[in-house]
Structure 1
């Protein structure tokens, strides 16, 4: 009888308004959350069970081991163009724990004149036996794989570098490796 006539598009606008209100309500309710608390005290430092130790070639490579044995840097590694230089015992990895440990030495990053390098290989040895895979520097995720180092064992790390034939004495690279030790 007194039916109001709707204008064209009015229903669509009403539906749109309802949808916007529904979204606003949903958005507000999605912000409801509960906070839980965790406390850790005291958090202490313990002696590292696996540490770097100097090897026979560490001095020639300019090795400097951090106070806790968990960091080592080298500042005198070099090589001739078109010749492979090998540091057979650049650093050692020692397990001071009373049980075996799973470790993995892995390529992390490199920078500098990387195109002037033919290759850099890093290998881990127990005596004269290579343990795991050869690490190829510059190859993402290249690693020794998981290695089980026995209690009290000390393994040596070997570094091999070959610059390209046209490499210049002004060129250099920086390399980072990471030693992953499983467990606490």
Structure 2
């Protein structure tokens, strides 16, 4: 899925982006809303709708809204129903760090399961009180404490696994026989992964 960058993810319940949509009819720019609900065999209408979407400054927001709301009808965000279907299935795994950072800053953003886990981990590592995590994720204090316990366990288990792996690696082999060390690539763009 190829995304264009937007300044900020939309907040929950925000529909103001629709005012900037190319598909919005105005007195000077009439658009037939039915154009975005073609039958699968209406290739010309699909092409025309997608051409309008390609010019739209809020195309990404439109696509996100369609996915987050489970909207599987019509052309949204420049994609047909069939093109969006695999994205609907993958949505819960989306991990967009811009969205995570917005929530940590206190904005109400629709989060996927993966993004909620990332918020919990970041809040735990920043030593935010569980009450703050509860407020950020709109959950109970008890649930936030449970998320912190799970995060603490995951971090501990990962550290134990890494230590066990390091202990199994032979250290007295000549350099020529040792396996090359794997170095994880550095990510400069903490973008989306859907």
Q: Which interval holds the TM-score relative to the shorter structure?
A: under 0.3
Whose strand fraction is larger, Structure 1's or Structure 2's? Answer: 1
> Bigger relative contact order, structure 1 or 2, given CA contacts below 8 A and separation 6+?
1
Larger Rg: 1
Whose helix fraction is larger, Structure 1's or Structure 2's? Answer: 2
Q: TM-score, normalised by structure 2?
A: 0.21
